[in-house]
């Protein structure tokens, strides 16, 4: 007999939409500003022989793509009005959790807005406003806003 959590994860895989979680990882560049945690173009101008992170804050980076299964839907006007002001005028989708091909939970909570994205219907989306739904100590799924990237 399957537990409720197992049924939720199976439902995500077999009834959900396929998407790709794309993350960039690597060695932190010395140009990272310790106060703002952002890359510094000035540092690279002052250190022209150092490895260039191309504004990502990472050197010797590797992009990893993982196929995930999730429920994604368009947001209606009422939902869009409830978003923080900075997100109200974006092409946004609502995201409900994800599993991989082995039915393992896949979190999007730690994705970096500048480097990482989710690809759905051939379009790139930034993950925003992640809300983890827990049962006891376990995360059952996450709800998030997917904001369409313009690059």
Give the tens place of pLDDT for each residue, 46-99: 999 998 888 888 888 899 999 999 888 888 778 777 777 766 556 667 888 888
The predicted structure's pLDDT at residue 81: 77
Confidence at residue 89, expressed as pLDDT on a 0 to 100 scale? 54
8 in Cβ contact with 141 (< 8 Å): yes
In sign, the C-alpha dihedral spanning 32, 36, 40, 46 is: negative
Residue 69, CA distances (Å) to 2, 30, 107 in order: 19, 36, 12
What are the DSSP E strand ranges found in 16-122?
17-28, 58-74, 92-99, 117-120
pLDDT at 142 over 80: yes
Mean pLDDT of 25-37: 87
pTM of the model: 0.78
């Amino acid at each position: 007999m399957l537990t409720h959590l197992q049924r939720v994860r199976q439902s995500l895989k077999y009834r959900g939409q396929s998407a790709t979680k794309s993350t960039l990882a690597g060695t932190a560049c010395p140009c990272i500003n310790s106060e703002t945690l952002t890359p510094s173009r000035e540092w690279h101008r002052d250190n022209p022989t150092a490895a260039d992170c191309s504004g990502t804050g990472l050197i010797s980076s590797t992009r990893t793509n993982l196929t995930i299964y999730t429920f994604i839907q368009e947001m209606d006007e009422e939902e869009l009005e409830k978003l923080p002001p900075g997100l109200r005028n974006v092409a946004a989708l609502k995201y409900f959790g994800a599993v991989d091909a082995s039915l393992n939970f896949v979190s999007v909570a730690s994705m970096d807005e500048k480097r990482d994205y989710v690809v759905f219907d051939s379009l790139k989306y930034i993950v925003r406003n992640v809300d983890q739904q827990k049962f006891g100590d376990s995360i059952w799924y996450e709800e998030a806003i997917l904001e369409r990237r313009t690059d």
